[in-house]
Structure 1
Amino acid sequence: MTTDTTPVPSVATAAGLAELLGVTPATVARLTERGVLPTTAGQHDAPAAVRAYVGHLRSCAAGV
C-alpha cells in the first residue's frame, strides 16, 4: 500500500472533493443534495466531508 502524504485541504469545491473521494462531481452533488455531505455556500469542509462519506459507506455496508 502506498501512503500519500499530501495534506487534505480544509475547504474544497465539489470537483476537488470528488477527486479526493475518488468519485465523480455528479456523485458529490447527489450526496450533497441527500444531506450526506455538508456544504456551505458551494464549498465543502473537506475533513468533515470525508468523515461524513466514510460514515455513509459504513452505514451502506451495514445495511442501514
Structure 2
Amino acid sequence: MTVQARWRKSSYSGGDEGECVEVADLNGHVGVRDSKNPDAGHLTLTRRDFAALLTRLAQRTA
C-alpha cells in the first residue's frame, strides 16, 4: 500500500510572492519541494539535516 505524502505550504510563503516551498513528512524524513512546480520532484532530508537547514536559513535572514 502506497501512502500519499501530505504536502503543506510554508507559513512564510505568501500569496503572490513567487518563492513558495512545501514540506511533507516522509516516514522519518522531510520532503521539500517547489509549490509552483510539484511534479518536478522534491529534496529528501533527514530530520536532523532539515533542522540544520532551517537554522542556517534563519541565520542568513537575521
TM range (shorter): 0.3 to 0.5
Larger proportion of helix:
1
TM-score by length of 2: 0.37
What TM-score, normalized by structure 1, do the two folds share? 0.36
Looking at CA atoms only, which structure, 1 or 2, has the larger radius of gyration?
Answer: 2
Which has a greater percent of strand? 2
Identify the structure with bigger relative contact order (alpha carbons < 8 Å, sequence gap 6+).
1
